[in-house]
């Protein structure tokens, strides 16, 4: 498996510094938070996109994916949601990224069956754009659809390789699933796996990998046992927890911890 980290852990850091961090600490790639608060977002001009793609390629670091914020199950017209996804897909193509992350985002009180149908319809449309652009849209286990069982309600009807799943280990575990259950649900759709660690089930303050309560060893063991050989991406949510230690100080230990889990499960 290949290792990446998310720029949520280094909010606002210029991309040359992100590239240097990944190379210095032995990560194969990075997930870029695609938001106007960050250096990378759909408003980035074409020339800057080309320069950034060249910088990543020259350093041998992959842009794993773009973490976008489109909510595919949310009430309302399809047009704005699909436009948002299309802009992210075009940016991903320009940066040679493999994936674009979207959220479910159903509203409180929204009929679950309706939310699933809305999400499936939008994902099906986005899948065509994604395939044409050489990118894949991944629905994250998150918010209204935190588990694998919930996510496949939206993914199952799509039936298109342009759409898949992003397994957020924390969300699925807090939703009541064990890693073996989440993997069984998402295996046909799995794009990559987002790992992290937290203080407790009720306190999602990020902690160094291996210092919290999430079932990371079980997750890696399940993936290894089934021969899955994709990406593990560390999402350390520094942006919303300003008091936690800075990610650069933790990158070596995090890589070593994941390496030990991979060796133990081999």
Write a three-state SS string for 143-167: CCECCHHHHHHHHCCCCCCCEEEEE
pLDDT tens digits, one per residue of 164-196: 999 999 999 999 999 999 999 999 999 999 999
- Quick one: pLDDT at residue 15? 97
**CB atoms inside a 10 Å sphere around CB 108:** 5
Give the residue carrying structure tokens 């608060």.
Answer: 37
Tens of pLDDT along the chain (266 residues) come to 999 999 999 999 999 999 999 999 999 999 999 999 999 999 999 999 999 999 999 999 999 999 999 999 999 999 999 999 999 999 999 999 999 999 999 999 999 999 999 999 999 999 999 999 999 999 999 999 999 999 999 999 998 999 999 999 999 999 999 999 999 999 999 999 999 999 999 999 999 999 999 999 999 999 999 999 999 999 999 999 999 999 999 999 999 999 999 998 87
CA distance 232 to 193: 5
CA distance 5 to 234: 4
Residue 232, beta-bridge partner list: 3, 193
- Do 263 and 1 touch, CB atoms closer than 8 A? no
What letter does residue 199 receive in the DSSP assignment?
S
Query: Which domains, from first to last, does the chain contain?
Result: 2-265 (3.20.20.150)
Residue closest to 62 by CA, chosen among 233, 259, 260, 265? 233
What letter does residue 98 receive in the DSSP assignment?
S
């Amino acid at each position: 498996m290949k290792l990446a980290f998310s720029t949520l852990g280094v909010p606002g850091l210029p991309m040359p510094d992100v590239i240097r961090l990944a190379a210095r600490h032995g990560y194969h790639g990075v997930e870029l938070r695609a938001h106007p608060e960050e250096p990378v977002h759909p408003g980035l001009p074409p020339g800057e996109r080309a320069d950034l793609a060249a910088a990543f390629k020259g350093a041998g670091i992959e842009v794993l994916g773009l973490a976008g914020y489109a909510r595919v199950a949310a009430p309302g017209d399809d047009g704005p949601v699909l436009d948002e996804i299309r802009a992210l897909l075009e940016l991903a193509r320009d940066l040679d990224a493999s994936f674009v992350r979207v959220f479910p985002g159903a509203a409180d009180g929204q009929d679950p069956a309706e939310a699933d149908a809305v999400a499936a319809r939008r994902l099906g449309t986005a899948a065509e754009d994604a395939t044409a652009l050489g990118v894949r849209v991944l629905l994250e286990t998150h918010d209204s659809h935190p588990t694998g069982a919930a996510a496949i309600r939206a993914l199952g009807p799509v039936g298109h390789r342009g759409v898949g799943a992003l397994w957020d280990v924390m969300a699925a575990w807090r939703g009541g699933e064990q890693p073996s259950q989440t993997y069984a649900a998402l295996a046909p759709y799995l794009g990559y796996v987002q790992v992290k660690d937290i203080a407790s089930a009720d306190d999602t303050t990020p902690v160094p990998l291996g210092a919290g309560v999430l079932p990371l060893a079980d997750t890696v063991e399940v993936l290894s046992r089934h021969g899955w050989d994709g990406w593990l991406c560390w999402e350390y949510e520094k942006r919303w927890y300003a008091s936690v230690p800075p990610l650069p100080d933790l990158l070596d230990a995090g890589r070593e911890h994941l390496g030990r889990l991979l060796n133990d499960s081999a």
